[in-house]
């Protein structure tokens, strides 16, 4: 993990990297891949030593989600590379959306869980915004990931009531995580 923007720009394979606070930098070569996760020093400083629930209570959803998204991307690429599976950008974004929902939901207070989960679903999957600098192709990918993750997470809420990370929920999340993109989309499309 790096927090130096200049180093992240240098390691980026783009000639003119986007000025964002989170990037997964991937360099493929014959013997494998090199990965670096960049999260800006400003974001890391804002997150500080606070407990994640404290960040949510203070309304720092965006920065917390940014960090979660980066970690999700990193872990997803590592897991798939270890299992010699290819990964698409859509899969990475889809998984990050699901990971953000599950992680944030698991941090919410049990007493207000139902109301908070409904707000969380709305905030993540309905009232979200997209970077104006995205290309048309990138915007479509983010919209697809958001739509499919929202549908999947709504199903998780209905099926498991999301009252803690119980064994059945974890089993489902692991099963879904291991599917290839086509199987994930097929599964989600069959949900009501």
Dihedral sign from CA coordinates of 182, 104, 38, 6: positive
Structure tokens, 56: 């949510």
Could you give the dihedral angle defined by the CA atoms of residues 104, 86, 74 and 107, in that order, rounded to the nearest 10 degrees? Answer: 10
Question: Do 148 and 184 contact (CB within 8 A), yes or no?
Answer: yes
Of residues 117 and 184, the one with the higher pLDDT is: 184
Note whether 18 and 133 are within 8 A (CB): yes
Flag whether pLDDT at 15 surpasses 70: no
**Could you list the residue range(s) of the whole structural domain that residue 99 is in?**
88-189
Examine residue 63 and state whether it is found in any structural domain, yes or no.
Answer: no
**Confidence label for 72 from pLDDT (cuts 50, 70 and 90):** very high
Query: Does 151 or 134 have the greater pLDDT score?
Result: 151
Six-digit token string for 137: 């192709």
Phi and psi (nearest 5°) for 97?
A: -65, -45
**Bigger pLDDT: 192 vs 28:** 28
DSSP letter at 111 equals G
Closest CA to 65 of 49, 52, 75: 52
Write the pLDDT tens digit of every residue in 93-142.
Answer: 999 999 999 988 887 755 455 555 557 788 888 887 888 888 999 999 99
Flag whether 148 is in a domain.
Answer: yes
Which of 175 and 51 is assigned the larger pLDDT?
175
pLDDT confidence band for 191 (50 / 70 / 90): very high
* pLDDT at residue 17 tops 90: no
pLDDT of residue 118: 57
Q: Tell me what percent of the residues of the chain surpass a pLDDT of 90.
A: 53
Please report whether residue 182 resides in a domain.
Answer: yes
Among 55-64, 65-74, 89-98, 149-158, the least confident range? 55-64
* DSSP 8-state class, residue 59: T
pTM for the full model? 0.89
Rounded distance between C-alpha atoms, residue 146 and residue 136, angstroms: 15
> Is 9 contained in some domain?
no
| 166: region left, alpha or beta (phi > 0 left; psi from -120 to 50 alpha) | beta
Residue with more model confidence, 182 or 161: 182
The better pLDDT of the pair 105, 185 is held by 185
In whole angstroms, what is the distance from residue 190 CA to residue 182 CA? 12
Distances (CA, A) of 32 to 8, 28, 51, 74: 20, 6, 35, 15
Please check whether residue 43 is in contact with residue 67, taking contact to mean a CB–CB distance below 8 angstroms: yes
- Determine, yes or no, domain membership for 106: yes
Name the percent of the chain lying above pLDDT 70: 90
Q: Is residue 52 part of a domain?
A: no
The domain tally of the chain equals 1
Residue 24 lies in a domain: no
Residue 57 included in any domain = no
């Amino acid at each position: 993990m790096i927090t130096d923007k200049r180093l992240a720009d240098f390691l980026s394979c783009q000639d003119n990297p986007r000025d964002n606070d989170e990037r997964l930098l991937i360099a493929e070569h014959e013997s494998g891949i090199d990965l670096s996760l960049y999260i800006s020093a400003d974001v890391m400083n804002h997150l500080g030593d606070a407990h994640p629930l404290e960040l949510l209570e203070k309304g720092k959803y965006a920065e917390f989600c940014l960090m979660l998204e980066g970690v999700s991307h990193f872990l997803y690429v590592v897991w798939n590379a270890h299992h010699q599976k290819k990964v698409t950008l859509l899969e990475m974004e889809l998984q990050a959306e699901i990971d953000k929902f599950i992680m944030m939901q698991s941090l919410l207070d049990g007493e207000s869980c139902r109301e908070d989960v409904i707000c969380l679903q709305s905030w993540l999957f309905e009232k979200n915004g997209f970077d104006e600098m995205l290309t048309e192709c990138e915007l479509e990918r983010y919209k697809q990931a958001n739509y499919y993750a929202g549908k999947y997470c709504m199903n998780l809420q209905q099926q498991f009531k999301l009252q803690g990370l119980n064994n059945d929920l974890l089993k489902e999340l692991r099963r879904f995580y291991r599917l290839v993109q086509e199987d994930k989309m097929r599964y989600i499309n069959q949900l009501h």
